[in-house]
Amino acid sequence: MVRDSFDDVPQHELPAGYQLRPYRDGDDATWISSQRAAEPFIQITDTLFESEYGTQRHELSDRMWFVETESNEPVASITAWFENEPPTPQDLGRIHWVFVHPDHQRRGISKAMMTAAMQRLARSHSGAILGTSSGRPWAVKVYLDFGFHPLATQRKEPEVLAAWRYVQSLLHHPALEKWLS
């Protein structure tokens, strides 16, 4: 999914009882264990964090956030990352590896994280891109609400177009309806 600009980014705050904090040295293990608890589709390996972020580790404290409970339990994370490495001016930024632990989903946490990540991307990028799947319809709804839309090239891929139609059958989202028509 792609968003061409950062005009009119929705503004959301975390619900009561949660706080957003930036990445700190040593959060690699926190990220891996939290991803494993929340990710139903992808195998989270011990080396995934390093393969995703190792070449730009110095950027993490400015581009990765965790949401914690009042007792400092990490329950969610998002990264405002680079689409191309090394980054070049005005490249698209990437909303990357978003997760909310199942026990904390459907509370508005992802919307607040998206607000923070989009604000960060707007400082360095002309637009944003992200990857998702039809198996994550409620995440897709958040992305649509934040102005993302499927890539135009996906209209030419019958299997992908069918997946978008399936998501629309669940969401009935006006932005996706417009894209599909």
Among the listed residues 128, 11, 130, 117, the one whose alpha carbon sits nearest the alpha carbon of residue 64: 117
| Residue corresponding to tokens 């995703």 | 52
DSSP string, 68-96: EETT--EEEEEEEEESSSS--TTPPEEEE
Prediction pTM value = 0.94
d(CA 54, CA 50): 4
Q: What is the pLDDT of residues 143-180, one digit of tens each?
A: 999 999 999 999 999 999 999 999 999 999 999 999 99
Q: Is the pLDDT of residue 88 over 70?
A: no
Among the listed residues 112, 129, 120, the one whose alpha carbon sits nearest the alpha carbon of residue 60: 120
Q: Is the pLDDT of residue 86 over 90?
A: no
- Confidence category of residue 91, pLDDT binned at 50, 70, 90: confident
Q: What percent of the chain has pLDDT over 90?
A: 94
CB atoms within 10 A of CB 59: 17
Residue 51: its pLDDT value, please? 95
**Listed range (88-102, 124-138, 140-154) with the worst mean pLDDT:** 88-102
CA distances from 29 to 24, 88, 100, 133, 165 (A): 11, 29, 16, 25, 37
Domains and CATH numbers, the chain: 2-131 (3.40.630.30)
d(CA 130, CA 104): 22
